[in-house]
Structure 1
Amino acid sequence: MSQSTRAADRGLDALGGTAAPAVAGAADNIRFLATHTLPAFVRGFVNARPTVVKIYAAVGQPAWSAATLRALRARHGGAPVLLKGMSGPMLVLLDEPELRRFYAEPVRTLAMDSPDKTAGLSVLEPTGVICSHGELREQRRTINDEAVAATEPVHPCGRDYLAVVADEARRLTARSVLDTPALERALQRVARRIVLGDAAADDRQLTQWLISLRNEGNWMGKRRKQAQAARTLYAQANARIAAYAAEAPAHTLAARALTHPDPDGSLDPIGQTHHWFLALDGLAPVAARTLLLIATHPAEQDAVLAEVSTVGGPLLPRLQACVRESLRLFPLVPDLVRVTRAESTWRGASYPAGTSVLVPALFHNRDPYRVSAPDAFVPGRWLAPGATGILQFAPFSHGGGRCPGENLGLLVTTALCAELLRANRLTGARPALPSSGPLPLLVDTAGIRLGLVPR
């Protein structure tokens, strides 16, 4: 093990570095701003803007960012590079030792509540886990993890959730053409029923309120004149959520959260509800891209069709591997950002507390120097032992910052895809993707259309 790797593994307390930081020059800062930071802001930090995604997909924008990051890694020998972020200095991690360090650090020292993240999410979930700090965060994280059953491969209420998915899938399986808007509507209903119960199933107004808050969150608090309107809308949404939650069946996420004691009223057990909706609504593009990739690869579709026809129960390894692979290729969160709580040393160079630390997840997911066939759809890679622990593959992150809703999200997405594939074969996929050769770094998800042929 190299000296730099040993230093990285010692954690944030390994101070006393003497090396000079790798600091980007003016030209590299401008290039990083133009190809990575600014495009990410324009795309939307909380809620991706469909028109922007369509333009980025057409011009291949993510390739510009990848080229910038490859050039930085080559110029600085893989060392972390200090660049100018939107809220101050940002340390960009480009090599494996630093990835290991990033995921191994506890969130109390390499925290998840970076300024950019909280500026966006505080609009829609001010009492959620990500916008909380210290001991309060840990208590709220416990409530969240218990509600979503973070450590369980299948949620204890999984049978109830699968019944909801099967019921909503019936609205889709009889169609001759499936598109992303139809998937969005179905999964919004799934989300309302899983989070709050069947009483909320038809409450499209609540979903629209939440979407409006997410759209405002995209501005990361920079539109101060809209702040009061956002607070008023949040209060309206919260009051309606609380009313549903008070009567919610025991299997719902809200009811599970409300079983947790809150003696002084500081925990707000259903404060995470907004994030659950954000995550569950976000499964629609995941399902759309997964089905698009399956439709584009006939041999993979044959294998998945055989599995869903013969395997009972919620665990469908091949289909779930397709979902994971779609998330590797097109992650919901292309960048992972944290912030240091104390002075820290990376490769011998010291950085002050409050430094934002960035892992460009999409870049590492598709890194040709670390990943075999990085731009190909290879679901089988996820069936190998230990695949979900590979550092370069981080659709749900790793370590203490790993998404607690990973298993629930996979359960719902896999189940919805399975219901569609049990009834139909996929044809006529649009946009057209290559069945061999490199896949693009971004697809126009809003424009996905798939033909459904009854089996």
Structure 2
Amino acid sequence: MLAAQAALGQQGWSAATLRAMRARHGGAPVEVRGLSGPLLVLLDQADVRRFYELPVRTLALDAPDKYRALSLLEPTGVICSHGDTREERRRVNDEVLAADRPVHPSCEEFRAMIAQEAPALLRNSELDFPPLRRTVARIVRRMVLGDAAAGDEELARWLLAIREESNWMRMRKRRATAAEALYRKAAARVEEYAARAEPHALTALARNHPAARGPGAAALDAVGQAHHWLLALDAVAPIVARTLLLLAAHPAEQEALRAEVDGGGAELPRLRACVEETLRLFPVVPDLLRVTRAETEWGGVPYPAGTAVLVPALFHQRDPEHVPAAHQFVPARWLRSGAAQDIRMAPFSHGGGRCPGEHLGLLTAALLTAEVLRGHRVTGGRPAVDPCRPLPGILASAGIRLTLAPR
């Protein structure tokens, strides 16, 4: 899909359309026709800031289209929840994922897993995306479910089948029913792994969370949050592939990372900045969709509860009118004070809807990238990236091939 969108120049004409809308309406919110009805698109920085500042009980994450898709894949996840239930599930996610800590308490165990799995990627002078994706899948299953799950390809196939069906947003009723049955099988498998996982695994931490032993434990489904963690951490593979490709095109940046990578620390601030810049340019979630739970006012106009509101995050992150060098790879922008709170850049969103796995995702991607760079230089890659020209709007990870040379 991404390759087709890239070939058609989808991101370019989408950005041009949004710029024209902003100019025509003076930056005011624009109501357009979405898949499920009216959709309010926010194009002004002040409106975007308010989008992030409104409480989740007013501007909720479970917009109808999103709910229909994700309710097959993670029916008890935070995104499919609201009210007190959402807040309790979010609290479990925050604490298990260590949302407020750049380095997760299980970092040393996770780093050991990555060091054990990474050599499979480095046997040849070329690194293609498929083996990177397989290696990341093994690492993620170990992190989330424990070492016993590393090679569980059957579970991976089940989750992929559910994910693919979720894209149809329950429009194919019989197949959606079959996907629900498959989810129950997958959930039972996840529970089995959680029961015998090592103490540092995320499901073990969830299973031992105080809320998982309280009177509302069944409804909370702490271990069931793992379905979202598996989905979200799956994005580490394309993030690492794109980061390495961009570093291949910027050898000076790659060289500047050497001391940090060789130092063996887990913080890796400069490398994390490279990962964050990759996510600014090529976000996992290019559009942020919410739904109002009460009447709200945008641009001086009242909108009823149930209004779908969208922030085209990729558009804002690459908006030359507000972001310097918007289409260039400039990791240093993430090292300045306040960068993580800059609303122009939202690879993990902001406010109450900010991703609780932000730090863990960055940590995992940075540690795996460091494993590659510790013994190798990335000397080239395909598709070719010209550091002197604006980067493409879409970079399909499936076609990435990297050339490695021993250091």
Match of 1:220, SS state, is coil
Could you tell me how far apart the structure 2 residues matched to 1:173 and 1:262 are? 46
What does residue 322 of structure 1 align with? 274
Could you tell me how far apart the structure 1 residues matched to 2:334 and 2:22 are? 27
What does residue 203 of structure 1 align with? 152
Could you tell me how far apart the structure 1 residues matched to 2:300 and 2:380 are? 54
Gaps of 5+ in 2: none
The more displaced of 214-223 and 399-408 is 214-223
Contact persistence 2:245–2:380 (CA under 8 A) = no
Q: How many residues align?
A: 403
Identity over aligned pairs, percent: 60
What does residue 371 of structure 1 align with? 323
Could you tell me how far apart the structure 1 residues matched to 2:208 and 2:361 are? 22
Shift of 1:93: 0.3
Gaps of 5+ in 1: 1-51
Match of 1:150, SS state, is coil
Q: Structure 1 residues 262 and 128, CA, compared in 2 at 3 Å: closer, same or farther?
A: farther
What does residue 167 of structure 2 align with? 218
Shift of 1:304: 1.7
Could you tell me how far apart the structure 2 residues matched to 1:61 and 1:346 are? 28
Match of 1:151 among 100, 103, 110: 100
Q: Which amino acid aligns with 2:18?
A: L
Q: 1:240-295: per-residue Cα shift (whole Å, max 9, x none)?
A: 11111111111111011111224242111111111000011111000100001001
The more displaced of 136-145 and 93-102 is 136-145
Could you tell me how far apart the structure 1 residues matched to 2:118 and 2:192 are? 27
Could you tell me how far apart the structure 1 residues matched to 2:68 and 2:171 are? 9
Contact persistence 1:173–1:423 (CA under 8 A) = no
Q: Which amino acid aligns with 2:255?
A: D
Shift of 1:201: 0.8
What does residue 26 of structure 1 align with? none
Could you tell me how far apart the structure 1 residues matched to 2:86 and 2:347 are? 23
Shift of 1:203: 0.6
What does residue 272 of structure 1 align with? 225
Contact persistence 1:431–1:444 (CA under 8 A) = no
Shift of 1:382: 0.7
Match of 1:374, SS state, is coil
Q: 1:133-192: per-residue Cα shift (whole Å, max 9, x none)?
A: 211111111111111111112111111111111111121122221111111101100111
Q: Which amino acid aligns with 2:307?
A: T
Q: Which amino acid aligns with 1:283?
A: V
Contact persistence 2:60–2:291 (CA under 8 A) = yes
What does residue 392 of structure 1 align with? 344
What does residue 112 of structure 2 align with? 163
After TM superposition, the score normalised by the length of structure 1 is 0.87
Q: Which amino acid aligns with 2:297?
A: T
Contact persistence 1:192–1:198 (CA under 8 A) = yes
What does residue 263 of structure 1 align with? 215
Contact persistence 2:62–2:79 (CA under 8 A) = yes
What does residue 292 of structure 1 align with? 245
Q: Which amino acid aligns with 2:371?
A: E
Q: 1:311-336: per-residue Cα shift (whole Å, max 9, x none)?
A: 33101111111100000000000000
What does residue 83 of structure 2 align with? 134
Could you tell me how far apart the structure 2 residues matched to 1:453 and 1:58 are? 30
The more displaced of 83-92 and 255-264 is 255-264
What does residue 305 of structure 1 align with? 258
What does residue 80 of structure 1 align with? 29
Match of 1:439, SS state, is coil
The more displaced of 441-450 and 299-308 is 299-308
Could you tell me how far apart the structure 2 residues matched to 1:56 and 1:305 are? 35
What does residue 104 of structure 1 align with? 53
Q: CA RMSD in A?
A: 1.0
What does residue 297 of structure 2 align with? 345
Q: Which amino acid aligns with 1:268?
A: D
Could you tell me how far apart the structure 1 residues matched to 2:322 and 2:254 are? 27
After TM superposition, the score normalised by the length of structure 2 is 0.97
Shift of 1:361: 0.5
Match of 2:219, SS state, is coil
